[in-house]
Chains A and B, each alone.
Chain A
Amino acid sequence: MRHHLILRVITKLLVGPIMLFALYVQFHGDYSPGGGFQAGVIMAVAFIIYGVVFSLDHVQRVLPPWLAHKLSALGVLIYAGTGVYSLLTGYAYLDYAALSPDHPVHGQHYGILLVELGVGVTVTGVMVTIYYAFTSRTPIMSDEAW
């Protein structure tokens, strides 16, 4: 456990800010460049870098594979659910005006926020799932093999 001390320390320092940056990109997506897809990838990077430097076991203790699966489904449901809400209130599918009928422009903001949140959650889930799927196929390298 003493190998790669610098890598380990730097990673621990970085993971938090990376996640914070992902949230920043996520929630400023409607005003500035960014949005759910980019944020989701950045968020997934935090988990992946942790998994690469420490080990698959460590990262799967934080985010078990089943949770990653559910996350990717949950995001789609958030996205579709937003649309279904506007559908149920008598608007067209994904017509954000439904979210704030008295002030459609605000509705657009809420709508984009929700939909991008759904995209972000799904992309995080999918990216982490892809990483798990590929890495769990090879035998985990021992420290001596580096």
Chain B
Amino acid sequence: MTEFTQEFVVGHINYWLFIVLMMTGLYIVVAKGNLVKKIVGLNIFQTAVFMLYISMGKISGGTAPVFPIDMNIDPDVAYSNPLPHVLILTAIVVGVATTSLALALVIRIREEYGTIEEEGVLAADRSIARVEEKEHGEVMGGPV
């Protein structure tokens, strides 16, 4: 078993932050009834992953991974790993697209349902389903 020494706790600070952010985001997605707040939670959740990746590429004392123009590379200089950062650039773009699509859906939901609270939307859906059940009859029980 790993011992929770001070060194261990402080040395893994980026992971703790990742866990806290990730769980905060997930909690908001699950617990909040407002559709926009859910999207905010989803964003926080995704940001946690960005943090995980970016901190992964950090090297203590590392500098920007750009070679000097005369190409005289000093072997003592440590360079940060650019790959995770590039990956996260892609993931951020994906996040932006997801957020705007989700917000667009919320706008449409508000236009159709007149509310962006999950309870209201669910209640409206349930009442439609109940009408359908009655209309199309032949109910043999079972979940709707």
On A, residues with C-beta under 8 Å from B are: 37, 130, 133-134, 137
Contacts of B104 in A (CB 8 A): 133-134
A134 vs B100: C-alpha distance when bound (angstroms): 9
State which size class the interface on B falls in.
under 10
Chain B interface, >50% SS class:
helix
Q: Which of these, B89, B93, B100, B111, contacts A130 with CB under 8 Å?
A: B100
B107 part of interface (Cβ distance < 8 Å): yes
Residues of chain B within 8 A of A130, CB atoms compared: 100
CB <8 Å contact, B107 and A37 = no
Residue pairs across A and B with Cβ atoms less than 8 A apart, 9 shown, are: A37-B89, A37-B93, A130-B100, A133-B104, A134-B103, A134-B104, A134-B107, A137-B107, A137-B111
- Other A-B contacts than A130-B100, A134-B104, A137-B111, 4 sampled, CB-CB below 8 A, are A37-B89, A133-B104, A134-B107, A137-B107
The closest CB in chain A to the CB of B111 belongs to: A137
- CB neighbours of A134 from chain B (8 A): 103-104, 107
Closest to B97 in A: A126
Q: How far is the CA of A137 from the CA of B100 in the complex (A)?
A: 14
Residue in chain A with minimal CB distance to B92: A37
- The answer for the CA separation of A37 and B89 in the assembled complex, in Å, is 9
List residues 88-126 of chain B with CB under 8 A from any CB of chain A: 89, 93, 100, 103-104, 107, 111
> Nearest Cβ distance between residue B99 and chain A, in whole angstroms?
10
Chain A neighbourhood of B111, CB < 8 A: 137
- Residue of chain B at shortest CB distance from A131: B100
- Chain A positions within 8 Å of B100 at CB level: 130
Bound-complex Cα distance A130 to B89 (A)? 20
Task: Enumerate chain B residues within 8 angstroms of A37, measured Cβ to Cβ.
Answer: 89, 93
* Min distance, Cβ A102 to any Cβ of chain B, angstroms: 21
Looking across the interface, which residue of chain B has its beta carbon closest to that of A38? B89
How far apart are the CA atoms of A37 and B107 in the complex, in Å? 26
Least Cβ–Cβ distance between A77 and chain B, in angstroms: 18
